Homo-oligomer: A and B are copies of this chain.
């Protein structure tokens, strides 16, 4: 058979490095599409002038363009036969991605654990995105539950990696040259700086977006993500197309501009759960909670650790979990990340 059936649980071996296919050169076209697909307004990614005033040579592409591009390439090798996308950890943005860069991805299998039912298992990979100079632009750990092809295949020795609960502030990598001492909040649209946010503070981002099929499919294809359930309504018994979880991440992050406009760059992904599926017709909203704060070595730059929650129609204010600790049905996403902010 010439087509790619995807890998099954028994096809992974510990320590294996998987080189993912289809390198991709990005341009101003991806930026324009990102602005059309999401209500993204962070000034550092929108304006070359603003980025230069912050010490960068030009506006980098949105940090989530880098994430989606790197992630999309892993799908044919990692998650084509996945039953569930279980989690993220130890994500760090290592270099900005600029128009003209060519991005590719590779993953190392760092953990394997067969489920007790014997028909599936959990695969842990550390994925790195690389640019045309061979420099890492992004790395993160993801673990997914993958079907076995043959339930009789022997279980591998169980190895579960020891993952950090969150990226320590001193492990954050700052873009070379970043300097917020001349940062102009007027051009950003909000006056609130790092010092204005307190740990425990919660922000309702107010705005909402009703999602269309065409939008999430355009976005998901743009990242060359090939998972069938996003595009083909015959894949699920209910005839619905499941929206790529990364689409919800980008929507929520863009919505969080209203209240976190100065949280300019995402520099670390601590954890993330796609709590419930999202479908076309849902109206997505977002709220954030400040989890932690840290200083950084760059002039005028502070870091804020944020929980970003996406919810849909019918969610109560700051909806998250029920008393049993289970995500409420209206909760779509619970993401934990570090962003940079002017002090």
Contact = CB atoms under 8 A, between A and B. Distances in A.
Interface string A272-299: 0000000000010000000000000000
Contact of A226 (B25, B39, B102, B259): B39
Nearest to A188: B21
Contacts of A93: none
Contact of A222 (B32, B49, B205, B231): B32
A206 interface: yes
A82 interface: no
B187 A104 contact: yes
Contacts of A28: 27-30, 99
B224 A41 contact: yes
A128 to B, nearest CB: 15
A75 to B, nearest CB: 11
Nearest to A207: B228
A176 interface: no
A162 B66 CA distance: 51
Interface string A10-36: 000000000111111111111111011
A116 interface: no
Contact of A208 (B192, B206, B232): B232
Contacts of A25: 46-49, 59
A: contact size bracket: 35 or more
Interface in A84-109: 99-100, 102, 104
A76 interface: yes
Contacts of A212: 212-214, 217
A233 B25 CA distance: 36
Contacts of A260: 2
Contacts of A313: 234
A181 interface: no
A137 to B, nearest CB: 14
Given A41-B22, A76-B189, A210 B29 contact: no
29 contacts: A2-B203, A2-B259, A3-B206, A4-B189, A21-B43, A22-B41, A22-B47, A23-B46, A23-B47, A23-B49, A25-B49, A27-B32, A28-B30, A29-B33, A30-B32, A33-B33, A35-B221, A39-B221, A39-B224, A39-B226, A47-B104, A49-B132, A207-B226, A210-B232, A210-B233, A212-B212, A212-B214, A212-B217, A232-B283
Given A3-B203, A27-B28, A49-B102, 12 more contacts: A3-B204, A21-B186, A22-B41, A22-B47, A23-B50, A27-B99, A35-B222, A41-B226, A47-B102, A48-B102, A208-B235, A212-B217
